[in-house]
Amino acid sequence: MPAHRTPVTSAATTLTARALLLDMDGTIVNSDAVVERCWRQWAGEHGLDPDEVMKVVHGRQGYATMAVLLPDRPMEQNHADNRRMLAAETADVDGVVPVAGAPAFMAALAGLPHALVTSADLRLAEARMGAAALPMPAVRVTAESVGASKPDPEGFLKGAARLGFAPEECVVFEDSEAGIAAGRAAGMRVVGVGPRAAAHAPDAHVADLTRVRVEALPGGGLTLHISS
């Protein structure tokens, strides 16, 4: 089945695909409270403006965020800090909740090809998905699975390969600039979720997942009915 996008009206979009690739934080799980706590503390420790730090943390692995913010610091220090940050974030699930509509959206994907593609490591992904009471997809690409952080497309390309589909047959759900860029670089269509995504020209944009309806197609594949 060829994948295609059919605009319906300015307020509605239909996308057909063989598989979906889902970011986690900001897309199906709202972890902003934890991210704010941990990264604002890190910013203070390094004499950085917390508001400026928060503009670049979303979507990337921690070490990649640190490399952007502290370009002259040795990368081994970024990786050491990243390990410490991952432990702190894994231990802190206070305020972690599902994005609106995520429980029904994930339930609709049961039995359909989909994968989690996240910059979190597996322990953090399990902690946050569990705190949000969302099912962990059987196929997941976490930080341990890739050699490069988003906006590099490696994670999405690996997710598509593990599901057995070509990039153009997949639709990405993302909330961040880095994630949207990664999905686009992978040759995939992108649905942007939430306020951060709106500024980065995804193929379709929704405020949350209550605006997405999933329809399984006879013989395989699915249709996304998206309302703005």
Query: For 91-132, how does the pLDDT look when each residue is reduced to its tens digit (9 = 90+)?
Result: 999 999 999 999 999 999 999 999 999 999 999 999 999 999
- Give the pLDDT confidence of 202-216 residue by residue, as tens digits: 999 999 999 999 999
pLDDT of res. 59: 81
Both 21 and 130 in one domain: the answer is yes
Both 117 and 139 in one domain: the answer is yes
> How many angstroms separate the CA atoms of 101 and 212, rounded?
8
pLDDT of res. 9: 36
Residue 8: pLDDT over 70: no
Residues in the chain: 228
Q: State percent of the chain over pLDDT 70.
A: 95
Residue 1: pLDDT over 70: no
pLDDT of res. 11: 63
> How many angstroms separate the CA atoms of 97 and 88, rounded?
18
Domain that holds residue 223: 5-31+96-227
Q: How many domains does one find in the chain?
A: 2
Both 80 and 123 in one domain: the answer is no
3-state DSSP assignment of residue 173? strand
Asked which of 48, 70, 91 is the last residue of a domain, the reply is 91
Both 74 and 125 in one domain: the answer is no
Q: Is 221 in contact with 109 (CB distance < 8 Å)?
A: no
Both 22 and 37 in one domain: the answer is no
| Catalytic-residue membership of 92 | no
- C-alpha distances in Å from residue 87, one per residue of 37, 82, 122: 14, 9, 12
- Give the pLDDT confidence of 40-58 residue by residue, as tens digits: 999 999 999 999 999 888 8
Kindly report the number of other CB atoms within 10 A of residue 34's CB atom: 24
Both 111 and 206 in one domain: the answer is yes
List the catalytic residue out of 23, 81, 152, 203.
23
The partner residues of 25 in beta bridges, in order of sequence, read 29
3-state DSSP assignment of residue 7? strand
Backbone dihedral angles phi then psi of residue 43, each to the nearest 5 degrees:
-60, -45
CATH number at residue 153: 3.40.50.1000
Of 159, 162, 189, residue with least CA distance to 174? 189
DSSP code of residue 25: B
Band the pLDDT of 220: cuts 50, 70, 90: very high
List the catalytic residue out of 25, 81, 175, 203.
25
Q: Is 38 in contact with 48 (CB distance < 8 Å)?
A: no
pLDDT averaged over every residue in the chain: 93
Overall average pLDDT of the 77-81 stretch:
94
Residue 10: pLDDT over 80: no
pTM: 0.88
| Catalytic-residue membership of 25 | yes
Both 68 and 101 in one domain: the answer is no
Both 123 and 196 in one domain: the answer is yes
Structure tokens at 51: 């508001």
pLDDT of res. 5: 46
Both 46 and 137 in one domain: the answer is no
Band the pLDDT of 64: cuts 50, 70, 90: very high
Both 141 and 103 in one domain: the answer is yes
